[in-house]
Structure 1
Amino acid sequence: MAAIYQAVLDMISLALSLLSAGVPAVAARDSFYPLLNHTTYISNISLGTYGGIYSAPSTEASPPSREDVYNYCSMPHPRVASYSLPPPVANESVSARLVYLEYLQRHQRRTPYNILPGGENQEYNCDNIHPHLYAAASQADAAAPPAPVYGQAYIDPSNPFLASYVNGTCQYPQLTLGGLLDGYQHGRDLRAVYGDKLRLLPSSPDDPTNQVWLRSSSSALTQGSAGVVLRGIFPDHDGPIPLHQQASGVDTVDRGFPCAARDTLLASIQATPEWNEHLAVTAPLRSKLAAMLGASSSDWQSTFDHFADNFQARLCNGYALPCSVRDAAECVMADQANEVFRAGDWEWNYWWRRNDNATRYIQLVEGLFIAEIVRRLDAVDQGTSALVYSHNFVHDGDIGPVLGALGITSLRWPGMASNVAFEVW
């Protein structure tokens, strides 16, 4: 086990050192990750989605896609049908068993963070999901049992800000019913692989001899995803489960801590000739979208984060691409959305792989969280930990730098429920 653990640490160390030299340490499937070294990837309309999937049913779980397909709405995760043992174990050149799993995943699909400044032409309906919001004493107190209240969003038609917002019964962002169903299946699949097949996961998260560590950001998105994924993993468990979070002001995930150096470096990265070239290439598209959707501010024009987020959230939950609220005939076309998605891919690859300061940027954004993972691995190696399984519910902004640190060949935007599994055998 120690040798394999050291190999994992060596891989992380080597990946970080190779990153600045542009040498790939972790290969990726060509169908997942195209070469993203030039802006022609953005402007080549013939590429379309580059084999990616950007659609999912609104009230059903996402159909499982092949493990070699980039499915933004529900990324592939370990399943019995596609799981492969490490080659030395599979060919029986070594005798080994799985003793520890460190698992990271992005939350499941959701409504958008970014509402179009000119207003939304469609209503969002979230009546079919109940985000629960209540607190209970750590010790049972019959005198003060909480009522299981949930947040029911609504719009008052007299609200003067509604004209430039969106009608409906959702918060933005929030987990959708489709995301909830995806999460339950995600958990069931993890149970089937790491519980039933590999005999690692305990039947209960309360097992004192085979302990689990469950962690999320302070976001309702990751917490809601955790609840449904963990139900799939622990179907027979009865009672509450502790989900660990750091204080939101100093959280080591989701950029929860203040860091002036991080922000300064990002400004430098987004002032390079390469970054400006991608802005020049996409200027006609950004201009059209700005006029159509009222999205001309720097927040919408300096990166493709906001446009991509809005379009992805629509398509991944059964909605159509947006139209202008002034002219219902003026709508975002599929080719325009695909260019937005390709531009988003290019930006993520540039932030975490291609720019000259990618290593330093990863250290500033995600180094503290990576160190937490390494400490857990170290404790397993030293035999000082009873943990067998750690599950972290985080964000795309955490998955991206971790993949960059591992030296992924090229990086597309980490889709919903993107995941990384570190196994110690």
Structure 2
Amino acid sequence: IHRHHKRTPYASNTFPRESYRWECKDQGLFYYGEALDSTSNKTSASTYWSVYTDPVNPFAQAGFNGSCQFPQITLEGLEDSWQHGKDLYGVYHDLLGFLPSQIDNKVTYRVSNNVITSQVAGMLIQGMYNPKGNVPLHIQPSDIDSLAPSYSCPAASKLYSTYGVGSFAANWTAHLSATAPLFKALDTVSGVAPTSAEWHNWFDHYYDNLSARQCHAKPLPCNISDPGLCIDQSQADSVYRLGQYEYSFIYRDAPQSLQAAAGSYGVFLAELASRVRAAMAGQSDIIYRHNVAHDGSLARLLSFLQVEQMVWVGMGSEVVFEVYKRAGGETKWFIRILWGGQVLRSSNPSLGWKEGSVDMLEVKVFLAYVDGLVGRGAEKVVAFCKG
């Protein structure tokens, strides 16, 4: 499971008016439906969205002018997605001989209901397999999706709100009060209203806006009316540092974070446990499951695994669950979890049994940990969310 790759910022994270354009004319976002019945000779044209603004339209576009959707995976993000797929194939096929040479029913891909994950998946699959035919992307209904996640869990949302974004908890508001001068300086350049709660109850909006620019080698913004008044690199670095602090606090440092993550991401973990059990029992032909998700997905997953050091999950960052069976002797199964290409380190003594590393941990220990928090079939999640 990994976060999508580079994208434009969300529209809600753009300034009221941006000082330069953002163009995406070097790519196409392909959207069309087609009959899967092989007997039909009525196929679809290969169509893509071409964003434009008509000069007759009297309404001004908020945020960036240009030819992009906000968000969409950029050309750089598409290229990263392709390379990600190529690298995965290089490791799990060429190096380890695990993946099949051609895409088949042993390999599946899953995305969220946000189209940017499908934009990534298409390029990634091409980088892995260069398939000749159509490839299904598995997706759950939008109101119960466990990957994003988007299923309703009021208890988890309420718990997050008691100590994190929007709360009045002193250990949350302290850093916001201390950084009031930084917010004021950012607002002066951006034109964001100082009274906007969404922009000032955490640094998420400024983080996304500034990091999206710098991920694409775009200049930091200047004021529309005063081009000499700009956000400088030291201010941007402060935003990034504070964003890292906020993610660590929300998903790891706060005592309530584990329970909140178990409630809001427990269904995905229950699904994962079910897949592992099926593999061990020889009840599934699928050997590789690939999930394209979001920063909130990975953050909750890392929270659940009690990662030793929490960060704001970067574009393309992945967590890999590898299941091993011992060759010869008594049958035993083991799991290794990778984070950022290295063995994940967990603060939980059951998971991080090897000096903090989740490395060749007996599967039964991992499954007991998951079941203890979310229950078989996520039964404990249902009870918690309704509580």
Task: Please give the range of the TM-score, normalised by the shorter of the 2 chains.
Answer: 0.7 to 0.9
Matched, 1:189 2:87: yes
Which whole-Å CA distance do the structure 2 matches of 1:251 and 1:196 have between them? 33
Q: Which residue of 2 aligns with 1:129?
A: 27
TM-score, normalised with respect to structure 2: 0.79
Checking the alignment, whether the CA contact within 8 Å between 1:115 and 1:166 is kept in structure 2 is no
Q: Which residue of 2 aligns with 1:283?
A: 180
Q: 1:252 aligns with which of 123, 146, 150?
A: 146
Runs of at least 5 residues in structure 2 that lack an aligned partner in the other structure: 325-387
| SS of match in other structure, 1:276 | helix
Which whole-Å CA distance do the structure 2 matches of 1:293 and 1:161 have between them? 20
Question: In structure 2, do the counterparts of structure 1 residues 163 and 233 end up closer, same or farther at CA, with 3 Å as the change threshold?
Answer: closer
Written as runs of structure 1 = structure 2, the 5 A alignment for 1:230-241 is 230-235=125-130, 237-241=131-135
| SS of match in other structure, 2:287 | strand
> What's the CA shift string for 1:366-396, capped at 9, x where partnerless?
1111111111111111221111101000000
Q: Which residue of 2 aligns with 1:69?
A: none
Deviation at 1:144, TM superposition (A): 2.1
Could you tell me which amino acid in structure 1 is paired with residue 96 of structure 2? L
Matched, 1:374 2:273: yes
Checking the alignment, whether the CA contact within 8 Å between 1:353 and 1:411 is kept in structure 2 is yes
| SS of match in other structure, 1:249 | coil
> What's the CA shift string for 1:62-101, capped at 9, x where partnerless?
xxxxxxxxxxxxxxxxxxxxxxxxxxxxxxxxxxxxxxxx
TM-score, normalised with respect to structure 1: 0.72
Checking the alignment, whether the CA contact within 8 Å between 2:29 and 2:49 is kept in structure 1 is yes
Which whole-Å CA distance do the structure 1 matches of 2:98 and 2:68 have between them? 38
| SS of match in other structure, 2:134 | coil
Could you tell me which amino acid in structure 1 is paired with residue 223 of structure 2? S
Q: Which moved more, 1:111-120 or 1:337-346?
A: 111-120
Deviation at 1:303, TM superposition (A): 0.9
Deviation at 1:163, TM superposition (A): 5.7
Identity %: 36
Q: Which residue of 1 aligns with 2:232?
A: 333
Which whole-Å CA distance do the structure 2 matches of 1:186 and 1:370 have between them? 24
Q: 2:155 aligns with which of 261, 270, 277?
A: 261
Checking the alignment, whether the CA contact within 8 Å between 1:123 and 1:168 is kept in structure 2 is yes
> What's the CA shift string for 1:238-283, capped at 9, x where partnerless?
1011110001122112231223222211210123221111111211
Matched, 1:273 2:167: no
Deviation at 1:130, TM superposition (A): 0.5
Could you tell me which amino acid in structure 2 is paired with residue 202 of structure 1? P
Q: 2:243 aligns with which of 328, 339, 344?
A: 344
Q: How many residues align?
A: 318
Q: Which residue of 2 aligns with 1:147?
A: 45
| SS of match in other structure, 1:390 | strand
Written as runs of structure 1 = structure 2, the 5 A alignment for 1:381-420 is 381-420=280-319
Could you tell me which amino acid in structure 2 is paired with residue 256 of structure 1? S
| SS of match in other structure, 1:332 | coil
| SS of match in other structure, 1:122 | coil
| SS of match in other structure, 2:69 | coil
Q: Which moved more, 1:356-365 or 1:188-197?
A: 356-365
Which whole-Å CA distance do the structure 2 matches of 1:143 and 1:238 have between them? 18
Matched, 1:109 2:22: no
Runs of at least 5 residues in structure 1 that lack an aligned partner in the other structure: 1-103
Q: Which residue of 1 aligns with 2:189?
A: 292
> What's the CA shift string for 1:93-146, capped at 9, x where partnerless?
xxxxxxxxxxx1111101001343431111011000101000111213544211
Q: 2:96 aligns with which of 179, 195, 198?
A: 198
Which whole-Å CA distance do the structure 1 matches of 2:96 and 2:149 have between them? 34
| SS of match in other structure, 1:338 | helix
Checking the alignment, whether the CA contact within 8 Å between 1:214 and 1:392 is kept in structure 2 is yes
Q: Which residue of 2 aligns with 1:355?
A: 254
Q: Which moved more, 1:307-316 or 1:161-170?
A: 161-170
> What's the CA shift string for 1:294-346, capped at 9, x where partnerless?
22311111111111011111111121111111211111110110010011101
Checking the alignment, whether the CA contact within 8 Å between 1:399 and 1:414 is kept in structure 2 is yes
Matched, 1:316 2:210: no
Which whole-Å CA distance do the structure 1 matches of 2:26 and 2:183 have between them? 35
| SS of match in other structure, 1:250 | coil
| SS of match in other structure, 1:391 | strand
Question: In structure 2, do the counterparts of structure 1 residues 159 and 319 end up closer, same or farther at CA, with 3 Å as the change threshold?
Answer: farther
Find runs of 4+ consecutive structure 1 residues off by over 4 angstroms: none
Which whole-Å CA distance do the structure 1 matches of 2:319 and 2:308 have between them? 15
Checking the alignment, whether the CA contact within 8 Å between 2:258 and 2:306 is kept in structure 1 is no
Q: Which moved more, 1:253-262 or 1:242-251?
A: 253-262
Q: Which residue of 1 aligns with 2:122?
A: 227
Question: In structure 2, do the counterparts of structure 1 residues 300 and 188 end up closer, same or farther at CA, with 3 Å as the change threshold?
Answer: same
Could you tell me which amino acid in structure 1 is paired with residue 300 of structure 2? P
Checking the alignment, whether the CA contact within 8 Å between 2:30 and 2:48 is kept in structure 1 is yes
Question: In structure 2, do the counterparts of structure 1 residues 363 and 238 end up closer, same or farther at CA, with 3 Å as the change threshold?
Answer: same
